[in-house]
Structure 1
C-alpha cells in the first residue's frame, strides 16, 4: 500500500514508518522537525529511514512541512492517492502545554483539521490517528476502558487530543470516512523522546546528577514498549473501521458509532510504580540514582492503567514486552547511540 505517516521524524512515527517499509509498503513521511526537543535526534531517525532497503528501492519520500500549513498538506496529498493515512504528528508534552497552549492549537487543532480536509478531498480509505491516555483525565475508575467518559481532561494537551477524537467522529459521520483513534499509554523504548522520564533519568544517572522524582515516586504508569505499540498501530490501520451494528442511540458506546469510527486503548495493562521503574533502570545501568523527591506536578494523573481487551478482540493484538526487557533494550540503544561504553 501507499501510506502517509505524519510525524515520521518523531518517536512513534519513526518506528511505524520503518515497520511499514520493512514489510514492503510505500511510505510518504511528513514532519516539520521542530525544536521542541533536540532536532539532531529527529534527523538521526530520518537518516535511518533513508537507509532502509525500502528507501533505497524508491519506496520512501519525505516532506518537511508544518501541519498547520494547509497549502503544504494539500501539495503532499496532490502527489498521489494514499491507501492509508497514519496521523501521528502532534505537539506533545504535558508540561509544555501549560505554558505554551498556542503551540497545541497550531499543531493539534489547526493541523489535524487540515489532515481531515485533505483526507476528505482525496477519499482516503482509512485514517488512523494518535490520541492519548491523558484524555481520561479526572476519571479514577481502573483500568481505563474506552467505554468510560473522557470529558474532564487535566491538561490542555489532553484537551486537544480529545478534541481530535470528536473532530474525527464528526467527519466520519458527515462524510462516511473510516476513522480509528488510538489512545497510547506511556510509550517508551529505543529512539524515545528526551523529554520523557525514562530518557531524562538515564541521562542524569549516568552523569551522576540527581533525578527529579515527582509525587515522591508514588505515581503508577502503564508503560508500553514501542514495538507493541507499533503492532497495534499497523494492525489498526490495516483493518478499516466500520459502523457498529449494535450501536444504540439511546445508550451510545463512546468507543464505536453508527459511523465508521472506532477508539482503542494501546497499553500494556500492567501499571508499575515509578519507584519500581527507577529500580529496574538502575539494575539495567548498574548504577544507583541520586533522587530528589518533589511534590506532584500540576496536571499529573496519579495512575494510568489500560484495558486493551478491545484491541485484542478486534486485531488479535496484545502487548507482551515486560518492563525489565523493554528498559534493557532502551538502555542498550541509549549507550550505543551516545557512544557510552
Structure 2
C-alpha cells in the first residue's frame, strides 16, 4: 500500500493531534525553530529526553490504527462546573479550564498554562479531536493575565489563535521552551516570548519564580519537525509553596520526579496528566496512566495532586471516564496520605 493510502487510513486524531508521530525520520533536517549550541539534550537538530523512548515508526502507527478497538466517547460530556475567577488571589487558587489548560492564581499573579479555547485540537477546523465540553472559564471571564506558560507545541497544548488573541488583548509575559517562540510568533509576529532551556528560570515577581524542568515527551506541529522544539514541565515556587506541573510526560524510571523533589523539596501541589494512555504499548513512553501519575506524585512527595488531560479531547483508546476509575483504584492501593483528585473543567481547588 502506498504511503498516501496508509495516511488516509489513519484517524484524524492521530495525524492532527500527534503531529505525525509515525514520521520519525532521522535525516538531519535543518531545524526551522531553533539554532543553538549542542547540549546533553540537543544534537544540533533535535531535542531528546533524559529517558527518551524510541520514536514510533509509521508502521507502528498503522498497526495501532488498524487494530483500534477503543471505547467510544459520547459527543458531549458537559462539566457540572463553571468558574468566574476573582481578579487577584493572595494564596493559591487553581481552576481547570479543560484538558490541560489551567488558570493558576498565586501571590497576586494570574498565570495561564497551555490555554486552548479551540473547538478542535487540530491545525484545521474540520478534522481532529473535537471538544466534548466547553471551557470551564469562558474567555471573556478570564481575569487580567500576567503570564502564559506553554509546555510544548502539540495542538492540544499550543493553540496559536488563542495565544494571538491573548497577546493582542493583554500582552502577557509568555514563557515557553526553546524553539516554541518561533512557532508562537508565526501567529503574531509582534508576540514577545521568553524562550528558556531546561533548568532555567524566570522571575515572575511577587516572590513567584517559574522553573523549566525536563519531561519525558516529544514535540511536533507537522510531519517533518519531530523533536525540533523543546518541551518541559514547570515548577512554580511561591509563598504558597512548591507547585509541580506537567503538561505531558511519561514516567520513565522516575528520575525526573526524584530530581525535582531533591532540587525543590516536597511539592505542596502537583498537577499531573492522567489520560490519553491506551494502548499502553504505544503510549507508555510519552503519557502517564493513572497508576504512573500516582507514582509520580509520591516521588514528588506531593501533599495534593490534581489530574488533568482527560475527558475533553479524545486522543487515544480508553473510555472517557476510565481515567477517573483507574485513578481511584491506584490511590486505593497506596497506604500513604496522598490526596489525588481528577479535575473537571471549571472546577476549583484552592488553599
Query: TM range, normalised to the smaller chain?
Result: 0.3 to 0.5
Q: Indicate the structure with greater helix content.
A: 1
TM superposition score normalised by structure 2? 0.33
TM superposition score normalised by structure 1? 0.34
